[in-house]
A and B are shown apart, each in its own frame.
Chain A
Amino acid sequence: MEHTFQHTPTAQEIADLKARELDALCVNESELKHPWWHNLKYSAWGILFGIVFVKAEIVSWFRIQEMFRFDSFHMYGVIGTAVVVGLISVQLIKRFNVKTVHGETVHIPEKTFNQGQIYGGLLFGLGWAVTGACPGPLFAQMGAGFSVIIVTFFSALLGTYVYGRFRESLPH
């Protein structure tokens, strides 16, 4: 497995990375150790992200219904534009070997195919249309003052937990 360790990792470090990589796209092993407040960089972008979510009504149950009923271009425009901007960014980073602000080489883990993307994807889609929210908007709906979404959030946590509990017996 490709990784970003720049020293020879210990067996425990490898095992820990492998555990985190299970069914996850967004795992990264940075060599750098930072004090905790460096994480505020992510909170800052999260705040902008949350404002966008609310102001562009992406967290709206109604917008999700419009999307799946093909009644509005709005959500397709949002997701499509985001993919194009992300794609161009990733291509530029790769082409010009742009380093992180700390000088590390950018590493994007490869996703391997498994049946979970089919069955899990289908289940996720069913839930998305019911709740009108994927995980990001769940946080945003709570933040926007829809307090009852706390119940949906804990249900999603429970779903994640039950998946982890029975992961080994599900087709992958």
Chain B
Amino acid sequence: MLEIIKQPWPWYVAGVLIGLTVPYLLLVGNKTFGISSSLRHVCAACIPGNIKFFKYDWKKEAWNLFFVGGITLGAFIGAQLLSDPNPMVLAESTKSYLATKGITDTAHLLPSEIFSWGQLFTLRGLIFFVIGGFTVGFGARWAGGCTSGHAIMGLSSLQWPSLVATVMFMIGGIIMSWLILPFLLTL
């Protein structure tokens, strides 16, 4: 049994479990699924300043922080106790493309050539950690949600603004992957 769990999980298992988050949150506490709001609650709790957007009773949304705390712990369990000893199986076309850009370490979830402390104070680090992270946080809030709030919760409840947001997420990602990243990876 443990041997099966340790193998990479197929998309349909993951999809069903992630989808079930929607009714779980609704039925357990009348909560709607969304993760990026946790970033806002952290701002509201720690540095509200005199900004209207952060002046609210964040404790009423504390469940969201407990949820992301659980995600962090769950990922720790998944990586430490249930990890698959074999390297990741990557699509051959992506693998060979990345190799032309010098990304050859595909054994782990993230490429060590980019996501390591040694890269932090380089141009690459500035782009992949600082600017990338900033864009994710800024964009998610401007769009009013991220993949969970829009693509999963929003589409599940048939909200067309969420479809607009999801399409824009995909367009942004495709532009980055095809047009900008080929250059950024050479930095």
Contact = CB atoms under 8 A, between A and B. Distances in A.
A and B assemble together: yes
Interface of A: 4, 16, 19-20, 22-30, 36, 38-62, 64-69, 71-75, 77-87, 89-90, 92-93, 98, 100-102, 104, 106-114, 116-136, 138-149, 151-165, 167-168, 170
B132 A78 contact: no
Given A25-B32, A117-B165, A149-B115, A43 B90 contact: no
B139 A127 contact: yes
A81 B90 CA distance: 21
Contact of A153 (B14, B63, B133, B168): B133
B53 A164 contact: yes
21 contacts: A23-B141, A42-B67, A46-B66, A60-B88, A78-B11, A81-B11, A82-B21, A86-B21, A93-B27, A98-B27, A108-B26, A117-B150, A123-B135, A128-B147, A141-B110, A142-B72, A143-B76, A154-B133, A156-B134, A159-B137, A163-B142
Choose among A30, A72, A79 the residue with the greatest number of B CB atoms under 10 Å from its CB.
Answer: A79
Given A46-B70, A100-B28, A133-B136, A77 B12 contact: yes
Interface of B: 5, 8-40, 42-43, 47, 49, 51-57, 60-64, 66-80, 82-83, 88, 90-91, 93-94, 97-98, 106, 109-111, 114-117, 119-120, 125, 127-162, 164-178, 180-181, 184
Contact of A141 (B55, B75, B135, B136): B75
Nearest to B89: A57
Interface of A is mostly: helix
Contact of B39 (A90, A93, A128, A135): A135
Given A78-B15, A82-B152, A160-B40, A143 B137 contact: no
Contact of B8 (A55, A67, A110, A153): A55
A23, A75, A112, A124 pick with most chain B CB within 10 angstroms: A124
Given A45-B25, A135-B39, A144 B176 contact: no
